[in-house]
Amino acid sequence: MDPDSEVVFDFPPFLRLYKNGSVHRLVGNDYIPAGIDPSTGVVSKDVLIDPSTVLSARLYLRGRSASTRRPILVYCHGGAFVIESAFSPTYHTFLNNLVAQTDVVAVSIEYRRAPEHPLPAAYDDAFTVLRWVASHAEAGGGSGQTWLAERGDFGRLFLAGDSAGGNIAHNILVRTRAEPLENEVKVAGLLLIHPFFWGKEAVGSEPTDPVFRQWLETTWGFVCGWSAGIEDPRVDPFRDEAALRELPCRRVLVSITEMDWFRERGKEYYERLRASGWEGEAELVETAEEEHVYFLSKPKCDKALAEMARFVAFIARD
């Protein structure tokens, strides 16, 4: 056997890392181009934001929208920080459907992934895109993206993400406390969809099996390039009480599912947020008898449609 073909880290069902540094992603590799979605009429286009890191985003706008301002949604895709893409069929379909129903300007972030780019690369990329979006609030500002500058309502800016993307959305929102956005833009709401959070000690009815918990701790170390442990407040936000008490937005929706390993953390996030003294409005919704991010693989099932309707209502409400 070629020693370079030796697997040095196996992260099922997502990827394998080989001794020679190559990465074999097992899922989430398909690509779909931007354009006009025939089923929804939503139009999308790709924008290069930082050539030095090839940081880009896919923008979405409802095709026959009136030339009025509408909410802006900045979205962080999931995938354990290692797979999937803003350009994958999974997320392209999800964003098309969401935009068709909410009439927002959506910005789906194509952040760099571990292990080639360990955290905090994804956080830094997502924050860069959020700042780029805010730069368009001033007349003549930004990079001339008219969908944002002319159609976006910067008083209704929302952050959202599922799974690892929910983790990213939370962390870049917290970062705006220390690094305010351009043009005094504020995030109005945070939508956490089956968010990935974890910690050293079990919360609620989380699995207590030490082998399982050690595996999740190991995978967190892997996506961080072995630079951080499971007590890192980026994965365990309860380690930073001020981050919740001073969360810089007005509204939060946390969506969880009954059969998700991360259900208890999402529920605890909601409960601690409400108990922290935070002055905003928090909402928790739970889908029964479904697993983590089920709505991506079953977007037309009744429960996924109901969950989408809740996302739409959260964003549409002023």
Instruction: Give me the active site residues, please.
Output: 163
Spatial contact of 101 and 312, defined as CB atoms under 8 Å apart: yes
Q: Which residue do the tokens 């701790």 mark?
A: 217
* Closest by CA position to 105, among listed 73, 131, 135: 73
For 56-73, give one letter per residue: b (16+ CB within 10 A) or e: bbbbbbbeebeeeebbbb
Contact partners, residue 269, CB within 8 Å, separation at least 6: 192, 195, 197, 237, 238, 244, 254
Q: What does the angle CA 58 – CA 186 – CA 167 come to, to the nearest 5 degrees?
A: 60
Q: What whole-number distance in Å separates Cα of residue 85 and Cα of residue 171?
A: 19
Rounded to the nearest 10 degrees, how much is the dihedral formed by the CA atoms of 134, 153, 237, 81? -70
Burial class (CB in 10 A: 0-12, 13-18, 19+), 117: middle
Q: What whole-number distance in Å separates Cα of residue 168 and Cα of residue 265?
A: 15
Longest dimension (CA), the chain: 62
